[in-house]
Structure 1
Amino acid sequence: GQNGAGKTTLVKHFNGLLKPVNGRVLIDGVDTRKTSVAKLARKVGFVFQNPDHQLFCETVEKEIAFALRNFGFDEKKIEKRVDWALNILDLTEYRNVSPFMLSGGERKRVALASVLAWNPKILILDEPTIGQDYMQKEKLRNFITQLNAQGKTVVIVTHDIEFVAECKPRIILMREGKIVADGEPHEILTNRDLLEYASLIPPEAATIVSELRKFGLRRKAIDVYEAGECIIEMWRSVQVK
């Protein structure tokens, strides 16, 4: 959804930062109103949109190790998890650097590393692509796919429609604090009226292929890879004729 749609407010209920006034929120069957934020945090990792809201240690290494020590990991395990997190997010060269000396995109990766290190079952990423270049977005997308394959739940808060199209997740569309759609990416991202209602612009690939459908193309596409396949298919059909 667009800015102000209520996305971040909603996900803050998942780790107890906010408590529901009406109804209830269950995480693995546990009512968040009856559980402390500390207990929920062990299970639900939250990476804020602004990394400066959760970074405070002197070095990147200490930042990643901080939560692990709080959760009672032994030093050997901490060292192993820190090394893994630094490597997976391309931060090894910044191990002994202050996170506040890094760029916004790098600080965001430090914040993500500090959460991933303790291996939460559920991971919430608030606008994770802000400040990231294309290569870092690709690595993030592939990493999210790996986490899903491991049985982890990844909740992404974003209005980066192109990133969503490439991830192809279940999509929950929000507008003015309400859910207006919940479904598969091809169903939602090719529905121009629905996206316009949520003040979002369709993916460029979907727009291009939509125009090609006027010339007989039958398939739909939401990312550049699918669009390429559609164009090749259309070209072959013309060649055959």
Structure 2
Amino acid sequence: MTELHLNNVSFSYPDGTKALENLTLSISTGERVAIVGQNGAGKTTAVKLMNGLLKPTTGTVSVGDWDTKDHTTAQVSRKVGYVFQNPDDQIFHNDVESEVRFGPKNMGFDPDRVDELTNWAMQLCGISEFAEENPYNLPYSVRKFVTIASVLAMDSAIIILDEPTAGQDKIGLQVLGNLLQVLEEKQKSVITITHDMEFVTDYFTRIVVMANRQLVADDNAQHIFYNTEVLEKSMLKPPAVAQMAKLLGFPPGILLKSQLIQAIKTNSVK
């Protein structure tokens, strides 16, 4: 059981620029949490603090019983895996399997466990057929899954996905959806930063909204995307389905395509 806690955390760069102010946030084992907001809201700083890439200027970040200030980034990353937005910032090997295998091998797992985790992660991400390929010969969308697999293979309790839907087609989105379901079954916590509100409403039950380096709201999708004050403060637009439902005059609460279709059918019957 690995929980994540940020207690009154602020972060400033050496030149004094503030990137995050007084963030208090707790994420339980097995939770799915989407962090949303405009560029510059503090989202990336927050997740880098979660996995030890940054250390708080004030406040504390704890992963399980660890205070991240007392551990190296490499140590924290064993508990909190971070998939960067740009896969090219994270790929270092000349073939996919070596890239995915690197993490668990370096963590000291026995060879059989390394094989098991490597094969599981590649299969889950739909990249087994590319095992011998150079990652840089693959499309951007597939390289994204190479980096996701390389982090999953480390068997971290908490996974951070930075803009995972960027560049993905319908098949890629389906792979992501299945991946999230499997991780939930394994009681892995998943945190995503994303601008894709449809992805958020389809797969995340808890949404953290940030603006101006601070937390604005922490609630479920219905309460977030039908809260005018929160949307205006964070300059967020609700998903297209919610916008369409509002235009059609349906009551608040519709977020999914299936809900909108049902509302249209019900209304037409009346």
**TM-score of the two chains, using structure 2 as the length reference:** 0.83
Q: d(CA) in 1 for partners of 2:121 and 2:208?
A: 29
Pairing partner for 2:109 from 67, 73, 85: 73
Q: Which blocks of at least 5 consecutive residues in structure 1 are unaligned?
A: none
SS for the counterpart of 1:233 is helix
Q: d(CA) in 2 for partners of 1:92 and 1:77?
A: 17
- How high is the sequence identity, in percent, across the aligned residues? 39
Q: d(CA) in 2 for partners of 1:184 and 1:92?
A: 35
Q: Which amino acid aligns with 1:44?
A: V
Determine the structure 2 residue equivalent to 1:172.
208
Determine the structure 2 residue equivalent to 1:103.
139
Determine the structure 1 residue equivalent to 2:47.
11
Structure with more relative contact order (C-alpha pairs < 8 Å, separation 6 or more): 2
1:223 and 2:259 are equivalent in the alignment: no
Paired residues in the alignment total: 234
Q: d(CA) in 2 for partners of 1:225 and 1:181?
A: 26
Residue 171 of structure 1, CA deviation: 0.3
> Could you report, residue by residue, the CA deviation over 1:207-241 in whole angstroms, capped at 9, with x for unpaired residues?
1112233xxx44521121221122222223x1xxx
Runs of 4+ aligned residues of structure 1 deviating over 3 Å after TM superposition are none
Determine the structure 2 residue equivalent to 1:28.
64
Confirm or deny: 8 A CA contact 2:61 2:67 kept in the other structure: yes
SS for the counterpart of 2:49 is coil
> Could you report, residue by residue, the CA deviation over 1:111-149 in whole angstroms, capped at 9, with x for unpaired residues?
000011121100000111111112211221232133123
Q: Which amino acid aligns with 1:226?
A: Q
- Please identify, of 134-143 and 118-127, the stretch whose mean Cα deviation from structure 2 is larger: 134-143
Q: d(CA) in 1 for partners of 2:229 and 2:238?
A: 10
Q: Which blocks of at least 5 consecutive residues in structure 2 are unaligned?
A: 1-36
Confirm or deny: 8 A CA contact 2:100 2:146 kept in the other structure: yes
Determine the structure 2 residue equivalent to 1:150.
186
Determine the structure 2 residue equivalent to 1:52.
88
Confirm or deny: 8 A CA contact 1:68 1:118 kept in the other structure: yes
**TM-score of the two chains, using structure 1 as the length reference:** 0.92
Q: d(CA) in 2 for partners of 1:41 and 1:194?
A: 32
SS for the counterpart of 1:136 is helix
> Could you report, residue by residue, the CA deviation over 1:175-203 in whole angstroms, capped at 9, with x for unpaired residues?
12111111011100122442232122111
- Please identify, of 203-212 and 63-72, the stretch whose mean Cα deviation from structure 2 is larger: 203-212
Change (3 A) 1:145 1:189: farther
Query: RMSD across aligned C-alpha pairs, in angstroms?
Result: 1.4
Residue 150 of structure 1, CA deviation: 2.4
